[in-house]
Structure 1
């Protein structure tokens, strides 16, 4: 029963956070004060940071880099108990880039939750696709500007 509740809450969070509106606040509200967030890779969104404020700053940067970005949960595994829950999500990423082209990517998110608060969040996305999309964003900005 506990795992079903966690799955439902995670799905609801992804619907809100991933709808393209830029509303990342529910995800940040789940962050524990000692949250450790990592976005793996040497790219525009690559990060290793701590705490909800830095997590919110990362979301703000992601929304500035890829306005209207949509995130979708395609599969999920939940295991553990309330004091140490692991959630693994397979996700898809979509956006319309400034040059009008489509950006599509996929990734994996590994989250540890303790008593309803996210204490660790690690995201691994296809970094080559991400970097190529960012280059198109930069090229469009230079052409406009």
Structure 2
């Protein structure tokens, strides 16, 4: 059931984008970054590698970054994040992100136990 709902939301979002309403994606990204910086206000993204391939009509970019920051109670969050982007004439057409979700979950549980229940909120998906 959950997968069907998510699949429908994703398809709906891209239908809106195809119709010219890109704000559906932009709004979600803005909310995602706002939440990230609320929950991990000291987060730092240290870029380790940037690989670029292809011409301006289809450029593929791979980024490896170390994300780190202080957690409540003196803990530390450290995770390696990989992002794969496709660009067409300077416009991002796709983004894929891979990270260790167990490390992220432990950090969010730490933030939640320090009194920030939003750390356990549902992912921003639309």
What residue is the counterpart of 1:87 in the other structure? 61
Q: How does 1:1-145 map to 2 (within 5 A)?
A: 34=17, 51-141=25-115
Q: Please report the TM-score for the alignment, with normalisation by the length of structure 1.
A: 0.60
Give the superposition deviation at 1:51. Answer: 2.1
**Structure with more relative contact order (C-alpha pairs < 8 Å, separation 6 or more):** 1
* Structure 1: unaligned runs, 5 residues or longer: 1-32, 35-49
Determine the C-alpha separation between the residues in 1 that align with 2:26 and 2:86.
15
Higher helix share: 2
Q: Which has the larger radius of gyration?
A: 2
What residue is the counterpart of 1:40 in the other structure? none
Q: Could you say what the CA RMSD is over the residues aligned between the two structures, in angstroms?
A: 1.8
Q: Please report the TM-score for the alignment, with normalisation by the length of structure 2.
A: 0.69
Give the superposition deviation at 1:119. Answer: 1.6
- The count of residues paired between Structure 1 and Structure 2 equals 95
